[in-house]
Amino acid sequence: MTYETPAPGTITMFTTPWCGYCKNLKRQLDREGIPYSEVDIEQDPKAASYVESVNDGNQTVPTVIFPDGTAATNPSLGDVTKHLQTGRDQGSPANLRSAATTTKHDADLSKKLDEDAQAKDGGAEPRGSFGGR
């Protein structure tokens, strides 16, 4: 069974009103500015059937669909962000902002690790994985 895929840079999230994991993921998505459409599987039989089809017959929520048509069950915010940044869905403002933040964070972390290594080695250059000492 298939379900309509969301627009690039967004997800469709299948939920129930009582699902704590769904509420948590929605809060995180809202905080990060990642757009999503919510579908209550208790109100939409087609959605419930779709969720069962990707979860071995179980109505496990949250289940999300990505713009490339793949689905994930109970993904973390990191899982969602990473999937949206894989290149298939880049280009939306939310993804560009998130990708820029991640790239800056990675560069800052790399610089900090290099500085720590230099301090530990008495100022020597950090050793690389290729042609190291």
Band (pLDDT 50/70/90 cuts) for residue 123 is low
* Burial class (CB within 10 angstroms; exposed 0-12, middle 13-18, buried 19+) of 51: buried
Is the pLDDT confidence value at 132 over 70? no
Look at 62 and 105; give whichever has higher pLDDT.
62
Residue 75: left (phi > 0), alpha (psi -120 to 50), or beta? beta
- How far is CA 15 from each of CA 24, 62, 63, 64, rounded to the nearest angstrom? 11, 5, 7, 9
Band (pLDDT 50/70/90 cuts) for residue 115 is low
Is the pLDDT confidence value at 89 over 70? no
DSSP element (H, E) containing 77: helix 77-84
Locate 42 and state its tokens: 């208790």
Band (pLDDT 50/70/90 cuts) for residue 1 is confident
Locate 125 and state its tokens: 């250059």
Closest-CA residue to 13 (of 65, 60, 88, 84): 65
Report the residue count for the chain.
Answer: 133
CATH class of domain segment(s) 1-120: alpha beta
Q: What is the mean pLDDT of the chain?
A: 79
Is the pLDDT confidence value at 9 over 70? yes
pTM above 0.85, yes or no: no
Closest-CA residue to 86 (of 32, 26, 9, 29): 9
Q: Which of 16-20, 64-68, 115-119 has the lowest mean pLDDT?
A: 115-119
